[in-house]
Amino acid sequence: MDAFWIILTGVLVASSCGLLGCFLLLRKMTMVGDAISHAVLPGIVIAYLISGSINNVPMLVGAAIFGVIVTVLIEMLSKRGGLQEDAAIGVSFTALFAIGVILISFLAGSVDLDQDCVLYGEIAYVPLDVWEWNGVEMGPAATWMLGGNLLLVIAFILFGYKGLKLTSFDPVYATSIGVSVNLWHYALMGAVSMTTVFSFESVGAIMVVAFLVGPAAIAYLLTEKLSIMLALSVVAGVIAAIGGYYLALWLDGSIAGAMSAMIGIEFMLAFLFSPSQGILNKKKRLAV
């Protein structure tokens, strides 16, 4: 039964991250997830200092607040400060991550709170934290939380599909017809922040970044239609979650690492054999 919950948790994270990753890829902002996963550290420490406990709820609230702060900071530096997007991301998350490390060193050294335990979760431990309702074990609390998050992500994309599509492909045209580019940008960044924060404690920051970038990149190589791209990103993520678990079982290694490695394998296959974008197929067409 533990295998079922671990795989299901991986599938939920992969689906949420894959859907949002498609829009990040189209906006050339795929590394925002990595920035958020590190920038939330000071929020976690401050939440501990205010609440005096390492309970999940205040930790998630503090992390979510700083997840939004880093996205606003990136936007300000890139749009108003004149920095390139990648430079703005690098400056923002390293500065906030450093602040978090300093806060831990000076203010939270007396408790079991460090950057490794709050940033790098282990998906194998998910079945240990069980949610009980009226005395009945309902399954891992993290899986239920991530399931709720996936429903919110799906609802957000269904509701905002037109706005997200317009502002991702042609922000100038979107502005000319009265669509608020900033509104949809911050709405997307809020959804990414929420998903990242909900996911990284359970599965680890590396796996979250892999699922934000990999499935979307794979789908991008396989289709030129957004709706199909969204569906393919979910399929790629689900295959990686299931295949990665059994790969880890076979190798007796890290489950999160194996799932991330599966994403890499899928990407290489798409990169080589994609009907329209694959390197090998391009060479065949040139030879003809």
34-64: pLDDT as tens digits: 787 778 778 877 877 787 665 667 777 787 7
At 279, the amino acid letter reads I
Report the percentage of the chain scoring pLDDT > 90.
27
Helix (H, G, I), strand (E, B) or coil at 137: strand
Q: State the pLDDT at residue 284.
A: 58
- Helical residues (DSSP H) of the chain, grouped into ranges: 2-26, 32-39, 41-51, 56-75, 85-107, 115-119, 141-169, 171-176, 181-203, 205-222, 226-251, 255-273, 279-287
Residue 176 CB-density burial (10 A; 0-12 exposed, 13-18 middle, 19+ buried):
exposed
Q: Which domains does the chain have, with CATH numbers?
A: 2-122+137-287 (1.10.3470.10)
**Are the CB atoms for 94 and 35 separated by under 8 Å?**
no
Joined together, the tokens standing for residue 209 give 């970044």
**Are the CB atoms for 216 and 25 separated by under 8 Å?**
yes
Give DSSP secondary structure letters for 5-50: HHHHHHHHHHHHHHHHHHHHHHTT-TTHHHHHHHHTHHHHHHHHHH
Q: Which residue has the tokens 């925002």?
A: 32
Neighbouring C-beta atoms of residue 129, cutoff 10 Å: 13
Taking the C-alpha atoms of residue 81 and residue 98, their distance in angstroms, rounded to an integer, is 21
Q: State the pLDDT at residue 58.
A: 76
**Are the CB atoms for 17 and 208 separated by under 8 Å?**
yes
> Which residues lie closer than 8 Å to 19 by C-beta, 6 or more apart?
153, 154, 157, 230, 233, 234
**Are the CB atoms for 192 and 21 separated by under 8 Å?**
no
Residue 218 bridge partners (DSSP): none
pTM (predicted TM-score): 0.85
Q: Please identify every stretch of the chain with a pLDDT value under 70, giving residue numbers as ranges.
A: 1, 52-56, 107-121, 278, 280-288
Closest CA to 142 of 157, 160, 124: 124
Q: State the pLDDT at residue 151.
A: 95
Neighbouring C-beta atoms of residue 21, cutoff 10 Å: 32
At 221, the amino acid letter reads L
Q: State the pLDDT at residue 105.
A: 75
The CA-atom distances, in angstroms, between 35 and each of 73, 81, 155 are 11, 18, 25
